[in-house]
A = this chain, B = another copy of it.
């Protein structure tokens, strides 16, 4: 078992500080881990049984090997338990307590003690440590969950494509909850906390090689080794997209980050340019982080800048056109021209008042069949590089099968597609349905346009990468230009 696997797919997990008290972290962690595929050993000297499982007085009394130990004990006790983990031969440690380096000198000394304990162990037997000051990990596909917010209050995302690494725990909880409410799933979450041992670079390598992960998203307040991060990005981004929300951009933001996680951030302008150069996307808020990660993980890069808009409301088509084409408060893409043959086909398939010019307007009387017919025409148009599909449920001739139709065309059609839906409960239901089917869909026109632009930028980047290996035609065709108004940088 490669060392980081013990964090994400352990066969056995010990919870040190397991508790019978439902208000305690050690209770929640035990309870949620019992739903996982791992064998769980509660450890607590003053209990004989916790949640129906026999409880062990100490790590050493556990029979057999322990892949992962979750330390739900206060900061000072954590040091001793790390020592016991070494003795027991534990492979991976999650140190959840706060009260370490982020709080000042005394906490930093505790971290040094732990570091000394770990480095005294020969490399091949040395446990790896995530944290301290971390929620730990959450892996939806095997239900491994060491995060300790009450699930009824913080629903977790389902299985998905995105690996999410965060330097802030509470922030990650909010972001994951919001993602879950849109049907967006994760391949895994890892909280790196104070990064005493495992850091963002190692996790970047790990998820770059993880077959379940199609995009890697970071919330970071500083880089432990910025140069190393950039070198990894340069190697990884041609294969797998990386999105970074690096906070602490402003002077006050840097101070706030220093107070929050003890980070000392460097100049932000350097970060900005460097990330762009190595093909990583930078996000500027929590919403953009998830929006970009999902579209880059799920969508196909654009081979050109010509977008077809399919709408049921003329005004939404006009706004989308502005956002797509404008360079000021827009992304500088182009509306695809529709061929005369394509227009004739659309005319015969749609209602008389429909617009067959791009943006294609099915009108408020759209039906599932109109959507199907129009999508087929656009899929076969040579001049169309991507389809931006407005999915609306107000028309009485549309029902939930529309969502399935769009899911099918997204996964089996020949063109990249991004979906947007503006409305209430029916829209949100469709949005969650598409989200769970791993289709990038957004409840706002701007967010859908930004996502489309990200796929275009990704296409340009990949063309430049492969252009080096003699696929010059594709690279030239994409004509990458400088981005003025857009939100992503490649």
Q: Name A's B-contacting residues (CB within 8 A).
A: 23, 98-99, 103, 149-150, 153-155, 166-175, 177-178, 180-181, 219, 221, 245, 247-253, 255-257, 259-261, 284-288, 312-319, 321-326, 329-330, 334-335, 353, 355, 357-359, 361, 363-364, 392-396, 422-428, 443-446, 487
CA distance A149 to B316 in the complex (A): 17
Q: Residues of B contacting A181 with CB < 8 Å?
A: 423-425, 427-428
Q: Would B221 and A315 count as touching, CB distance under 8 A?
A: yes
A40 CA / B256 CA spacing, docked (Å):
61
Closest 9 CB pairs of A and B: A171-B315, A168-B315, A170-B313, A260-B314, A250-B325, A174-B422, A177-B423, A253-B322, A181-B424
Question: Which residues of the partner chain B approach A286 to less than 8 Å between Cβ atoms?
Answer: 316, 319, 422, 444-445
Q: How far is the CA of A249 from the CA of B328 in the complex (A)?
A: 10
B contact residues around A285 at 8 Å (CB): 319, 323, 444-446
Q: Is the CB of B287 within 8 A of A444?
A: yes
Count this chain's copies in the assembly.
2
Q: Which residues of B contact A23 (CB under 8 A)?
A: 396
Choose one: B171, B393, B446; the contact of A153 (CB below 8 Å). B393
- Complex contact A168–B325 (CB within 8 A): no
Q: Which of B321, B363, B426 contacts A252 (CB 8 A)?
A: B321
Residues A153 and B325 in contact, CB atoms below 8 Å apart: no
The interface residues of chain B lying within 8 Å CB-to-CB of A358 are: 252
How far apart sit A286 and B445, CA to CA, in the bound complex (Å)?
A: 7
- Say yes or no: A392 contacts B359, CB within 8 Å: no
| Interchain CA distance A446-B287 in the complex, whole Å | 8
User: Is B178 a contact partner of A422 (Cβ separation < 8 A)?
Assistant: yes
